[in-house]
Amino acid sequence: MLKQVLGIIGGGQLGMMLTEAARKMPEHISDVIVLDPNPNCSASQAGAKQIVGDFKDRNAILELASKVDILTYEIESGDSAVLKIAESKTTVTPSPETLRIIQDKFLQKSFLNDNGIPVTDFVEIASIGDLRKKITGFGYPALLKARRDAYDGRGNFKIKSENELVSALNYFSGKPLMLEKFVDFKMEVSVIAARNTKGQIATYPLVENIHENNILKMTIAPARVTKQVALEAEKIAKETMQVLHGAGVFGIEMFVTKQDKILINEIAPRVHNSGHHTLQSSKTTQFEQHLRAIIGLELGDTALIHPTIMYNILGPDGFQGKYKMPDIKMDNFYLKMYGKEESKPQRKLGHFNLVDADDTLGISGLLESVSTIKDKVVPSST
């Protein structure tokens, strides 16, 4: 097979780890070029060439497309209409049509629902009158969500009573909205799934996600669920992969309800924060898997070798600027920083993986270790 030049829209930490994976496959990928607005972005520090420009900059996207053999993305906010045009210059994957559906949460949920995949009850909201009427069908609390461009829960407003209807609507200042029934879930879980260009599908074992202030804090691999729940989640993930078009890795976020029912919360058409444990826990990292999928190689082994916890290192509150990290060395502890120059409150600066390499700790032992380590791995001002 000929060596290919890979393009990535977005050069943050996901682009960085994709670039690192690509550099380990020089027989398949000769070069990586990313599009990112921040000069010296994380991916460029890992050896990618960079076009400095916005993810939605039409000219920059088309310039990138003209320079690469295959174009993928690490963020879902790229312009899917421009990516459709870019398809005349290069292969875009996952397909722009899949991106178009996924990047609008209402279209995404409608698509899943139409394909018989379980999602929480949802409805489109056009006005305050509409909201007043439709929320009565769901009851309180309910979640009002921006249909597009949301991340880290910033596009969500939990409406707790009728008194909050107007402030909820105003919070979004005119953006297209949808309303969701609030799921009183037992656990949040996710499946990292891949499909290659030949249609082969592979899923990683189900993991458990703990959020704090709507931001992923920790991923526990494997999830502490019954075998039955894990199998059901895997089945739903596979069904989802069968209906989505395009090759690549997808992060499928799900809820486990109190009745052990699985509902999909949302899908990311890209490598996902809850798959970072695979850097140490699995034979094939999610980043290598994505590359294997899009260049049409056989998918790699997804088995979990050892239980692992991934812990996100976020910028501390009340401080912005250059920072340093303590130098910590420990067995089975893997710190990965993303090369971001400045810390900002709640910014994802890095993560660590803690691996139960001897299979002696179990998840509870790993959790105990994480709770002592996490207070030592804190960014501080220089």
Q: Which residues bind ligand ATP (CB under 6 A)?
A: 120, 143, 145, 150-156, 180, 182-183, 188, 211, 214, 253, 265-266
Between 104 and 266, CB nearer to Mg ion: 266
Residue 150: CB minimum distance to ligand ATP, A = 4
* Residue 183 interaction partner, one of Mg ion, ligand ATP, none, beta carbon < 5-8 Å per kind: ligand ATP
182 binds, options ligand ATP, Mg ion, none, Cβ within 5 to 8 A by partner type: ligand ATP
Residues 6 or more apart in contact with residue 295 via CB below 8 angstroms: 1, 4, 28, 29, 70, 197
Q: How far is the CB of 275 from ligand ATP (least distance, A)?
A: 13
Residue 104 near residue 77 (C-beta atoms within 8 A): no
Nearest approach, Cβ of residue 278 and Mg ion (Å): 19
Which one of Mg ion, ligand ATP, none is in contact with 198 (Cβ closer than 5 to 8 A by kind)?
A: none
Report, in Å, the least distance between residue 263 CB and ligand ATP: 8
Q: What is the number of residues in the chain?
A: 382
Q: In this complex, which beta carbon is closest to ligand ATP, that of residue 70 or of residue 178?
A: 178
**Which residues face 351 on adjacent strands?**
312, 336
Are 305 and 282 contacting, i.e. CB atoms less than 8 angstroms apart?
Answer: yes
- Asked if residues 353 and 281 have their Cβ atoms less than 8 Å apart, the reply is yes
Chain centroid to CA 223 = 17
Separation CA 70–CA 8 (nearest Å): 9
Of residues 103 through 122, those in contact with Mg ion by CB under 5 A are none
Q: Smallest gap, in angstroms, from Cβ of residue 266 to Mg ion?
A: 5
Q: Which helix (H) or strand (E) holds 128?
A: helix 128-138
User: Cα–Cα distance between 282 and 205 in angstroms, integer?
Assistant: 10
Q: How far apart are CA 113 and CA 110, in angstroms?
A: 5
Least separation in angstroms between CB 183 and ligand ATP: 4
Based on CB atoms, which residue is closest to Mg ion, 232 or 266?
266
The span from the CA of 122 to the CA of 111, in Å, is 12
**Cβ 100 to ligand ATP, closest distance in Å?**
17
Residue 153: contacted member of ligand ATP, Mg ion, none (CB under 5 to 8 Å, by partner type): ligand ATP
Query: Smallest distance from the beta carbon of 262 to ligand ATP, in angstroms?
Result: 14
140 binds, among Mg ion, ligand ATP, none (CB under 5 to 8 A by kind): none
Q: Contacts with Mg ion in 246-275 (CB under 5 A)?
A: 266
Compare residues 153 and 205 and give the one whose CB is closer to ligand ATP. Answer: 153
* Cβ proximity to ligand ATP, 265 vs 308, nearer residue: 265
Instruction: Report the nearest approach of Mg ion to the CB of residue 378 (Å).
Output: 25
214 binds, among Mg ion, ligand ATP, none (CB under 5 to 8 A by kind): ligand ATP
Please write down the HEC assignment for all residues of 52-109: ECCCCCHHHHHHHHHHCCEEEECCCCCCHHHHHHHCCCCEECCCHHHHHHHCCHHHHH
What dihedral do alpha carbons 337, 204, 229, 110 form, nearest 10°?
Answer: 90
Whose Cβ is closer to Mg ion: residue 180's or residue 266's?
266
Candidates 179, 150, 152; CA nearest to 164 is 179
Q: Quote the distance between the C-alpha of residue 3 and its chain's center.
A: 28
Total residues in contact with Mg ion, by rule CB under 5 A: 1
Q: State which residue, 160 or 211, has the beta carbon closest to ligand ATP.
A: 211
> Which of Mg ion, ligand ATP, none does residue 233 bind to, with CB < 5 to 8 Å depending on kind?
none
Nearest one of 57, 42, 91 to 248, comparing CA atoms: 91
Tell me 300's DSSP state: P
The residue among 87 and 253 lying less far from ligand ATP, judged by its C-beta, is 253
Q: How far apart are CA 349 and CA 42, in angstroms?
A: 10
Instruction: Indicate the residue among 31 and 266 with the shorter CB distance to Mg ion.
Output: 266
The residues of the shown chain that bind Mg ion, judged by CB under 5 A, are 266
